[in-house]
Each structure stands twice: as structure tokens, then as C-alpha cells.
Amino acid sequence: MTGHRGLFVTIDGPGGAGKSTITRHLHHHLTNQGRTVHTTTEPSHDQLGEIARHGTDTYSGHALACLVAADRYHHLTTEIRPRLAAGRIVLCDRYVASSYVLQRMDGVPVDFIEALNAAADIPDLAVILTADPEVTARRIHERGAHSRFEAGITTSRTEAELYADTTHRLTRHGYPILTIDTTKSATEQVIRMIAKRIAQLTAGPPGESHTT
């Protein structure tokens, strides 16, 4: 927690695990409950973020790691923290966990990624979606790959292994992680599980902390 009035919720997981789908449905679910939600994504839609998002064939390794980290810090300063200070729930599709996985797939040592992200705010809730790699590879095939990080079953297996390792590492750094397997739970169930945890986190003592 960083002492803000809102709630910072991040959603990570392998390509095809359902990050975009869950973020979209969760936004509607929480809005229908009368909460004020700001949904965003990393890389952000600022200039740096657009370079990262559309530049994964040009930039790689340490350069891409620095680019997404720079975008992350700028995103925190200009978009995320102000919304949290205003009492919003901020939902972020991809955050630090994605760097621990994708940059390692790109050959960057984990110590470097760890150092680069050490000053990023710890979310109030870090959701990590997991899924059977056979299923995510099939979903990506049906949906169409979004980048070189979505390159078939071998990539999906590596990604799943790195997310498991990342979950341990970020837990040690104090990230409050909620892991949900989207091959075992349907979209509606996943939404209910996350919304339940959010309700618990926002139900603090009267007059304290979160007001969304």
C-alpha cells in the first residue's frame, strides 16, 4: 500500500490467459456496483508506451526493458497516482510481473529487471492469471498473435514457467498476489473472485483509507 485513497489493482499473466478480457469485464462489473474505476494498460498510451507497444520488433533485451520501465514510472506519475489520490480504483492491464517474464524471455538477467523496477509502486492487489500453456497457445492462434512474445506452444510453456517463478519473487517483495487459473474458472467466476477480494480490501474501518 502506498497511502493513497483509491485501490491499485494490476492484472498480469501469459498471452492468451485473459488479461484484456478480464480487465474489460471487471471494469463493467465494478462500475455497475457504483464504483469509480479508471482502467489503463502497460505499455501506456503515452508516447513512450506507444513506442514500446509497437516497437517490440525493433527494440529488445536491455533496451526494451528500460523503455517499458521508463514508461511505467511516467505512467505512475502522470496517470496512476493522481487517480489513486482522487480515490479511484485503478485497473492496470500488465504491470511489473510482465517485465519479470517478458524481459527474461528476451535474455535480460533477473537482477537487472529487479533493480529497474524496484521503485515501482507495489499494487494493493496484483492478480496473476495462469492457464494451461496448451490452452493459451490455442487461444492466441485463434485470436491472432500480438507480438513476437506470442510465438506458439514452446513460448507459452516458457512464459507459464516464468510467471510461476515471478509469483514467488514478487511475493518476497511484498506484492499481494491473487493467482487465478483461467482454464479452471470461467470468465464470470474469475470476475467474481477478483471483485470479492476488492470488496474486502475496500471494506476497511469507517473514515480510513479507500473511498471508492
Ligand X SMILES: Nc1ncnc2c1ncn2[C@@H]1O[C@H](COP(=O)(O)OP(=O)(O)O)[C@@H](O)[C@H]1O
Ligand Y SMILES: Cc1cn([C@H]2C[C@H](O)[C@@H](COP(=O)(O)OP(=O)(O)O)O2)c(=O)[nH]c1=O
Q: Which residues bind ligand Y (CB under 6 A)?
A: 42-43, 52-53, 56, 64, 68, 94, 98-99, 102-103, 146-147, 149
Burial label, 208 (beta-carbon count in 10 A; 0-12, 13-18, 19+): exposed
In angstroms, the CA 166 to CA 61 distance is: 18
**Number of C-beta neighbours around residue 114 at 10 A:** 15
64 makes contact, choosing from ligand Y, ligand X, none, with CB < 5 to 8 Å by partner type, with ligand Y
43 makes contact, choosing from ligand Y, ligand X, none, with CB < 5 to 8 Å by partner type, with ligand Y
12-29 burial code (b ≥16 CB/10 A, e <16): bbbbbbbbebbbbbbbeb
Q: Compute the residue count for the chain.
A: 212
> To the nearest whole angstrom, how small is the minimum distance from the Cβ of residue 41 to ligand X?
10
> To the nearest whole angstrom, how small is the minimum distance from the Cβ of residue 116 to ligand X?
23
Q: Which three cell numbers stand for residue 94?
A: 500488465
Q: Is 139 in the site for ligand X (CB under 6 A)?
A: yes
In angstroms, the CA 148 to CA 16 distance is: 13
187 makes contact, choosing from ligand Y, ligand X, none, with CB < 5 to 8 Å by partner type, with ligand X
Q: Is 133 in the site for ligand X (CB under 6 A)?
A: no
Q: Is 15 in the site for ligand X (CB under 6 A)?
A: yes
Q: Is 26 in the site for ligand X (CB under 6 A)?
A: no
CB 35 within 8 A of CB 7: no
- Cα-to-chain-centroid distance, residue 76: 13
Q: Is 13 in the site for ligand X (CB under 6 A)?
A: yes
User: Quick one: which of 3, 168, 186, 203 contacts ligand X (CB under 6 A)?
Assistant: 186
Q: Which of the stretches 14-22, 73-81, 84-92, 194-202 binds ligand X when contact is defined by CB under 6 A?
A: 14-22
8-state DSSP, 35: -
Helix (H, G, I), strand (E, B) or coil at 64: helix
Q: Which three cell numbers stand for residue 113?
A: 529487471
Q: Is 19 in the site for ligand X (CB under 6 A)?
A: yes
> To the nearest whole angstrom, how small is the minimum distance from the Cβ of residue 200 to ligand Y?
27
Tell me which residues touch ligand X (CB under 6 A): 13, 15-22, 139, 143, 182, 185-187, 190
